[in-house]
Structure 1
Amino acid sequence: MGRLWRSSKSFRQVIWVLLVLFGVFSLGRRVESRKARVLDSSSFEYSAISCRAHSASITDYGGVGDGETSNTKAFQKAVNELSQYGSDGGSQLFVPAGKWLTGSFNLTSHFTLFLHKDAFLLASQDINEWSVIDPLPSYGRGRDAAGGRYISFIFGTNLTDVVITGDNGTIDGQGAFWWLQFHKKKIKYTRPYLIEIMHSDSIQISNLTLLNSPAWNVHPVYSSNILIQGITIIAPITSPNTDGINPDSCTNTRIEDCYIVSGDDCVAVKSGWDEYGIAYGMPTKQLVIRRLTCISPFSATIALGSEMSGGIQDVRAEDIVAINTESGVRIKTAVGRGGYVKDIYVKGMTLHTMKWAFWMTGNYGSHADTHYDPKALPVIQGVNYRDVVAENVSMAARLEGISGDPFTGICISNVTIRMAVKAKKVPWTCTDIEGITSSVTPPPCGLLPDQGPEKIRMCDFPSESLPIDTVELKSCTYASMKYL
């Protein structure tokens, strides 16, 4: 890992990132209302979408938190036995302080996994503890390699009512092993994600620290009614494809109060790849992102795509902070993607030290295979950015649609971008786009005509709430006793 860190631009930059990160952690501690409250040495309260009638600790199943003993069988046994209480008030599994080495394990419905503040779940380095599963049908193949993929560290499919939470306990993917195999091109299957929930409904992932994921960190896919809160995600800024949170073909998702330092996009919104995503036809829609802090020098704060062939619609992002990140908002698509990205609303962004504030490209040509349809053109329309302040920016915007398939309905208003000392001479580049602007500095390209200062907040941002905003957390209790 040390070599990975040293390969970044400079040692001074890394130190600067760490200092900023210290501030990010401090900000994270302010979300006190959602954290667990200790009642005594053996019980505590926490907030969740559902409370449970039955409780157990991983130590009840032979778990050993010494950082060396494999606990894979203990976690599998715990979940299997606790699953019997799904129709009887549900169950919760407590992971106490310690270092709990384990391979991948599956979750069950009406279930809570809770990590003590000093608990560390450590992902096994024994590749035999990682089974291989089929590629996602909306992708048609693995992301790293054709064929299957390693199952994610914490995994669940066809579930209802699942909570993964803690008092800021830690899940460490120990990803350096996987990154090395990837860089050496010795990976046979797609690397595992840290948390993946598929075909599921009513999911909460909250108040955890996620470290060193082998690849993507949090991946809800083909799921609905998802709440992701108070997550801190950390990976070396040069680690490959360590995206933070990737809602993928999901409906009604809320991401808030998250702090991400990674080697890829902090939040990447997806919905399938080329002909496979078009055929699967399951969009990501009704997504809320708020109070996100991102550091990712080589990627985006929020990316839409590039795998967006099932469509992306109604994304609302506000109160976003990005520091030393390649771009603020990036839309990535290409000929052959099909699908759409529309009704995107972003307001209240604060950006510092960026390559681009805004970036759209219709030439992101990575394809699943050679069978994509070159006539499948994506539709990009209704993209709204407002109330943005950016400092030390190399280029204000790079907006590149597709010839014969322009990106339309772009609106940018009340935006101030202060350029870096060595900024590009031309701050805006625009091709094959249509839209309007108001009160934007520096003045944008001719394809985005200024409507005058009276239209300073003309870009839309919906006032009505989405269903996920009506979800209320309950005050739940864990007691150190096993009702079995």
Structure 2
Amino acid sequence: MNNVPHRLISASLVCIAFVSFTGSASAQDSRQVSEPRKPLVCMILTANQSQAEHNKAVDAERIQRALDHCPQGQAVQLAANNEKDSFQSGPLRIPSGVSLLIDRDVTLYASSDAALYEKDIQKGSQTCGVNADKGRSCKPFITIENARGSGIYGTGVIDGQGGQTVLGKTESWWQMARRAQKEKNEHNVPRLIEVIRSEDVTLHQITLRNSPNFHVTLNRVDGFTAWGVKIDTPHDARNTDGIDPISSRNITIAHSYIRTGDDNIAIKGGNNGATENVSVLHNHFYSGHGMSIGSETNSGVRRILVQDLSLDGTTSGLRIKSDVSRGGIVEQVRYEDVCIRNSKRPIDIDTRYDPKALGDKIPQYRDIVLENVRSLTPGQIIVRGYDVAHPLSIQFKQVALAAPSVQTLQFANLNIDQKTFNFSDAATDLTWSAPKANDCQEKLLTFPVKQQIDFRPQLSAEQAKLYAIEQVLRTTGAAGKEIVDPWNPLQDDLVTKTDLPVDYIVDANASADNKTKFTTVQAAINQALLDGRRLLAEKSPRRRLYILVQAGIYKELMYVPETALPITLYSKDSDARNTKISASVHAALLGSVYTERFAQQFANLDPAILAMYQSLKDRPVVGTSGTGIAWIKADGFQAKNITFENAYNKDKVDLKAECPNTSCGATAGTAPVVVVQHQAVALMLEGADKAQFENVRVHGFQDTLFLKSRAIAHTSRSFFHRAYVEGNVDFIFGDTTAYFYRSEIKSLGDRSTSYVTAPNTNVKTRYGFVFNESHFTHDGSVNALAGKFYLGRQWFHTQKCTPYAGINLPAYSCTLADADSYQAPRGTISKTVLETVGKVVILNSTIGAHIQKQHPWADWNKKSSLAFRPVQFSVDDYWNNLLMTEIDPVKDLGYTAPAQLATGSAAIFLAEFNNKQE
């Protein structure tokens, strides 16, 4: 499976070619290094919890199982599922050749349960999380050992929770570390990531934060790349080094940002061999102890290149540290193009890291070069060899230092711009060139704090003006070619008058003459259709026909084709519940059963009405578009004081409902489980422009109100005033422009997940659904009171494959084509479907407690499903999401820029203004 198959390669096959530098070619990673590319994905795991719930290691087993079963060269992907964006795990082990890919919105939390990290559970007593005479009794959170080509990718976050209270204790990991420092003992604490005896390991773009101890350690590693990594931990968190290569070789750390509580980077030559061939390139450091070598150098450190580095706020800048207990040879180290600011010790090269240390491992530093190094602020300069017999050897080229407050120069042979200085005893009077005022202006960048997506974007006051009734409803027609046709439905007689004319009366309890008196609503519609044609042909001044419906329940379908004169259907009873048009039709209903139920109703009706019926009767199943109890295609149609109800499952579960090609999932007698729940539309508008509804009620469950344009990217307008609409899933959906004013929208909680809207507005259409001064309510059910329902998700137009993510299927792809199709594992998607983006704006309304507060707009299905599409709030999101797929918005779709697609209100897909959340 893949998102961009022709661009992706296995982590173990990453070819790395890098930037050349001035100086000795040997002082760098011997590999050729370029920016790593994400591996193919073998499995997508979606989150089951939100950030507020990260307290248990609930995901460890499934993540480890997925890693263990992932083929080499591929990755397990952790993905968000709307507001569920967090994984919580105990220790994980990444196998050889396998990678972990963490999505942008995802955080993987390390459990704070110390017992999970216990190295030796055979001992019977817990030492991890205990300060003691001996340390290192904890497993790391993530281990990569004896591996080749493994890695961690993605723009998500791994959070070690170092500042959280450890489970069952009263302190955090960091607090225990400070206590160990005072008590002079060892802190048994897990590191975040350990790479051991491995080759060609990669960290790419990942953010690491709040490690309990060191963030990344490498031990006996040959080939490691960290590119675009961010490490972010408080400055006072003890022993939280950023990246520490130990006894390793061929290391590149590039384009990364590190702020932490200890060494930003510490290159160490420990007991298992030298560390050599290290390139530290184009990085930025902030709080921390600087760019360090040591303190362990006993096996040697050599061929190190530090190039294009900024250090802003580190306690030390360029630092080499060791002592006689762990000293060795540090050689062939080059620092080039380095900027330092606000450092207490900009240059800190010392062989007496611990003055009280004992031993015979004398540190020796030689062939050290600093070129074009600038310290913009004063600080202490330390250059101190061990003794006369073991002096330092350092060359300075174009080094500029703000006047140092203190200098310690001892046992050092220095070459400064080709001038030689030999210091045997301590000296403090060396004069340095001063940095220029404009030095480093482009290099000292602020730490790139991750921009959180605003899942509740708000309109400005000026933007909100674009959503007034007269603005939204003033145009109609094809998107981009709209015609101005001002319409203010609040001025219509339907709203302003209490006594409306009567042309026809419908009364189920009275006798009918089938001319002006009828017992069914459909019969009256049929007569109005006929009379309207006649009156238009006679050039009558009549402009509308009125049907009065007496209170009662009318168990029938109501189909309204295009009419010569518009029709108003109304009741004089102001309680719309007393006048109801009701029937039961669901999307899986067989066409033969539909015919059996409703054929008699359509006998002897006008051909235009009959054609609507005939378009459904021969279908294998009627489908969503065939379920409308009231199906209206006529411009100017009006209704007042009427309830439109699809009664499917309203009174009881329909145990006989057809489930073609599926299993209903339950059997009779398993109540209260709902055996089936299909789409069942109560009111469907199809291409009806200027359709107006006053004090109506629309009852259903799934897909209650369907608002459909007559053509793609064509504006049809409807207006709902003092209306009531209820349902559970996608219960207001479609691609028209619809305005809901002073209405109630109720979510029914018979399901654990609910979506109010499912718009599929075209990207170029100015307006989708607008709700103003409305109230989003719920039924008080347990599911609703959980507060996890959504205002909507953008309908992906029954798409069969997604280009926005992979699925858990090998060789999966979804590419652009003229038609939409899917034959596993490959599918196609059309430009038409891509452009159905969905638009909803809610203003001046009250939103009930049933709606998820932080994340009220949902993705269309979850990542790893064929029909996944991420929520898109604006045309910029649409554009950027395309850029991350194989579909190029310029080359493949013919766009030039987002503004070409949509500007003004058309560029806004989902937004709110001045709403109140209960």
> Structure 1-normalised TM-score?
0.72
1:183: which partner in 2? 178
Q: Partner of 2:417: helix, strand, or coil?
A: strand
Residues 193 and 38 (structure 1), Cα distance of their counterparts in 2 relative to 1, 3 Å cut: same
1:11: which partner in 2? none
1:248: which partner in 2? 246
Q: Partner of 2:237: helix, strand, or coil?
A: coil
1:43-74, CA deviations, whole angstroms, 9 ceiling, x for partnerless residues?
A: 99767634756610224xxx633344511111
Please point out which of 337, 350, 358 is paired with 2:339: 350
The alpha-carbon deviation at position 292 of structure 1 amounts to 1.3
Q: Partner of 2:144: helix, strand, or coil?
A: strand
Question: Are 1:295 and 2:274 matched, yes or no?
Answer: no
The alpha-carbon deviation at position 439 of structure 1 amounts to 8.0
Greater fraction strand: 1
Question: Are 1:381 and 2:366 matched, yes or no?
Answer: yes
2:49: which partner in 1? 65
Give me the whole-angstrom Cα distance separating, in 2, the residues matched to 1:133 and 1:117: 35
Give me the whole-angstrom Cα distance separating, in 2, the residues matched to 1:478 and 1:145: 50
Please point out which of 376, 387, 400 is paired with 1:416: 400
1:430: which partner in 2? 409
Please point out which of 219, 222, 232 is paired with 1:221: 219
Would you say the 8 A contact 2:214–2:239 is kept in 1?
Answer: yes
> 1:82-481 maps to which residues of 2 (within 5 A)?
82=70, 85-86=71-72, 90-97=73-80, 98-132=85-119, 146-166=134-154, 168-176=155-163, 177-185=172-180, 190-272=188-270, 277=271, 280=272, 282-296=273-287, 299-300=289-290, 302-365=291-354, 374-395=359-380, 397-419=381-403, 424=405, 427-438=406-417, 479-481=806-808
Give me the whole-angstrom Cα distance separating, in 2, the residues matched to 1:247 and 1:144: 26
Give me the whole-angstrom Cα distance separating, in 1, the residues matched to 2:307 and 2:133: 35
Give me the whole-angstrom Cα distance separating, in 2, the residues matched to 1:131 and 1:110: 26
Would you say the 8 A contact 1:150–1:189 is kept in 2?
Answer: no
Give the aligned residue type for 1:415: V
Give the aligned residue type for 1:96: A
Give me the whole-angstrom Cα distance separating, in 2, the residues matched to 1:145 and 1:407: 36
Give me the whole-angstrom Cα distance separating, in 2, the residues matched to 1:413 and 1:46: 42
Would you say the 8 A contact 1:133–1:148 is kept in 2?
Answer: no
The alpha-carbon deviation at position 337 of structure 1 amounts to 2.1
The alpha-carbon deviation at position 133 of structure 1 amounts to 6.1
The alpha-carbon deviation at position 183 of structure 1 amounts to 2.1
Q: Partner of 1:160: helix, strand, or coil?
A: coil
The alpha-carbon deviation at position 184 of structure 1 amounts to 2.8
The alpha-carbon deviation at position 351 of structure 1 amounts to 1.1
1:473: which partner in 2? none
Q: Partner of 2:63: helix, strand, or coil?
A: helix
Would you say the 8 A contact 1:415–1:439 is kept in 2?
Answer: no
Would you say the 8 A contact 1:216–1:245 is kept in 2?
Answer: yes
Q: Partner of 2:360: helix, strand, or coil?
A: coil
Residues 308 and 81 (structure 1), Cα distance of their counterparts in 2 relative to 1, 3 Å cut: same
1:112-141, CA deviations, whole angstroms, 9 ceiling, x for partnerless residues?
A: 21011001001101112213269xxxxxxx
1:10-36, CA deviations, whole angstroms, 9 ceiling, x for partnerless residues?
A: xxxxxxxxxxxxxxxxxxxxxxxxxxx
The alpha-carbon deviation at position 338 of structure 1 amounts to 3.7
Would you say the 8 A contact 1:211–1:235 is kept in 2?
Answer: yes
Would you say the 8 A contact 1:226–1:254 is kept in 2?
Answer: yes
The alpha-carbon deviation at position 409 of structure 1 amounts to 2.3
Q: CA RMSD in A?
A: 3.3
Residues 333 and 164 (structure 1), Cα distance of their counterparts in 2 relative to 1, 3 Å cut: same
The alpha-carbon deviation at position 378 of structure 1 amounts to 2.3
1:253-279, CA deviations, whole angstroms, 9 ceiling, x for partnerless residues?
A: 10000101111111110122xxxx2xx
Give me the whole-angstrom Cα distance separating, in 2, the residues matched to 1:159 and 1:48: 14
Give the aligned residue type for 1:170: V
- The runs of 5 or more residues in structure 2 that have no matched partner are 14-37, 122-129, 164-171, 434-803, 812-918
Would you say the 8 A contact 1:428–1:444 is kept in 2?
Answer: no
Give me the whole-angstrom Cα distance separating, in 1, the residues matched to 2:423 and 2:39: 59
Give me the whole-angstrom Cα distance separating, in 1, the residues matched to 2:371 and 2:397: 5
Give me the whole-angstrom Cα distance separating, in 2, the residues matched to 1:233 and 1:44: 31
Question: Are 1:76 and 2:64 matched, yes or no?
Answer: yes
1:406-437, CA deviations, whole angstroms, 9 ceiling, x for partnerless residues?
A: 33321112011123xxx52xx43211111211
Q: Partner of 1:151: helix, strand, or coil?
A: coil
Would you say the 8 A contact 2:109–2:161 is kept in 1?
Answer: yes
Residues 402 and 446 (structure 1), Cα distance of their counterparts in 2 relative to 1, 3 Å cut: closer
> Structure 2-normalised TM-score?
0.39
The alpha-carbon deviation at position 324 of structure 1 amounts to 1.6
Q: Partner of 2:250: helix, strand, or coil?
A: strand
Percent same amino acid among aligned pairs? 22
The alpha-carbon deviation at position 249 of structure 1 amounts to 0.8
Q: Partner of 1:132: helix, strand, or coil?
A: coil
Give me the whole-angstrom Cα distance separating, in 2, the residues matched to 1:228 and 1:52: 15
> 1:1-40 maps to which residues of 2 (within 5 A)?
none
Give me the whole-angstrom Cα distance separating, in 1, the residues matched to 2:113 and 2:363: 42
The alpha-carbon deviation at position 328 of structure 1 amounts to 1.6
Q: Partner of 1:150: helix, strand, or coil?
A: coil
Residues 207 and 45 (structure 1), Cα distance of their counterparts in 2 relative to 1, 3 Å cut: farther
Give the aligned residue type for 2:63: F
The alpha-carbon deviation at position 405 of structure 1 amounts to 4.0
- The runs of 5 or more residues in structure 1 that have no matched partner are 1-36, 135-141, 454-476
Give me the whole-angstrom Cα distance separating, in 2, the residues matched to 1:215 and 1:285: 24
Residues 38 and 113 (structure 1), Cα distance of their counterparts in 2 relative to 1, 3 Å cut: same
Q: Partner of 1:255: helix, strand, or coil?
A: strand
Give the aligned residue type for 2:65: K
Which deviates the most, 188-197 or 232-241? 188-197
The alpha-carbon deviation at position 379 of structure 1 amounts to 2.1
Residues 444 and 237 (structure 1), Cα distance of their counterparts in 2 relative to 1, 3 Å cut: farther
